[in-house]
Amino acid sequence: MTSRITLHVDGKARTIDADPDMPLLYALRNELGLANPHFGCGLAQCGACTVHVDGEAVRSCVTPLSAVGNGAVTTLAGLGTPDKPHPVQKAYVEEQVPQCGYCINGWIMTAAALLTKTPKPTDAEIREGLSGLKCRCGTHMAILRAVKRAAAMS
């Protein structure tokens, strides 16, 4: 059964007709036409679908619209702009992290949420905070450097 649902995405109210059980990821990509987050595993195991809901990193592939409520959804596009990137986005470029780029959405969104909660994390806290994310290109060491660089910018 569909309902009229208003989502607050990247600072804009967007209304769709959707089943409240629909995963947030499907609403963002299919209903709103956003290019990020990405579909990875569909099981919350890889992180490619990560967005923020009220500042918390969540796996949108398993988060039903009903769980979002009036929460503010932030995607990678809403985190920063090309002219004013978020410190994590800036650090990723400076550390030349991206290779294929498919997983970047999850790593950046998770790292940004981590740095909000723990502005000056230790290496162990960074590893713990990013655990469960997948990168098949093997850029893990560059990712760690980028998160440390972003923390130093704050």
Per-residue three-class SS string for 76-99? HHHHCCCCCCCHHHHHHHHCCCCC
Q: Which domains does the chain have, with CATH numbers?
A: 3-78 (3.10.20.30), 80-153 (1.10.150.120)
Residue with tokens 């990821």: 25
pLDDT of 56-113, one tens digit each?
999 999 999 999 999 999 999 999 999 999 999 999 999 999 899 999 999 999 999 9
pLDDT digits (tens, 9 = 90+) for 54-69: 999 999 999 999 999 9
The pTM of this model reads 0.95
Per-residue confidence band for 11, with pLDDT thresholds at 50, 70 and 90:
very high
Query: Residue 80: exposed, middle, or buried by beta-carbon count in 10 A (0-12, 13-18, 19+)?
Result: middle
